[in-house]
Amino acid sequence: MQSGRSKFKKWVLKITDKKNQVRDTMMGWNGGSNTSSQIQLNFKTKEDAIYYAESNNLDYEVLESSARKVISKSYADNFK
């Protein structure tokens, strides 16, 4: 299994909705009247994302990605 690292040098600001979502009984979908939870903003730097959150009085939490351990192996190792 491969996990790509394309576009990993960006910072994402997701607005979370603290209210409970309503489950539609007929279709089974989750929904609500607050559309702000559907917003996702991308920033080039962490500082830009923090500045935006602070200037708009948003509570934020910075989640740094952990170091990745890459195990190099060949395709032939799958058949041993």
pLDDT tens string 17-30: 767 777 888 888 87
Q: How confident is the model at residue 43 (pLDDT cuts 50, 70, 90)?
A: very high
Beta carbons of 11 and 49 less than 8 angstroms apart: yes
Tokens 């990993």 found at: 8
> Is 0.75 surpassed by the pTM of this model?
no
State the virtual CA torsion across 42, 48, 52, 57 in degrees, nearest 10.
Answer: 120
Q: What is the pLDDT of residue 7?
A: 62
Bridge partners of residue 68, in order along the sequence: none
Beta carbons of 34 and 19 less than 8 angstroms apart: yes
Q: Which of 55, 68, 53 is nearest to 16 (CA)?
A: 53
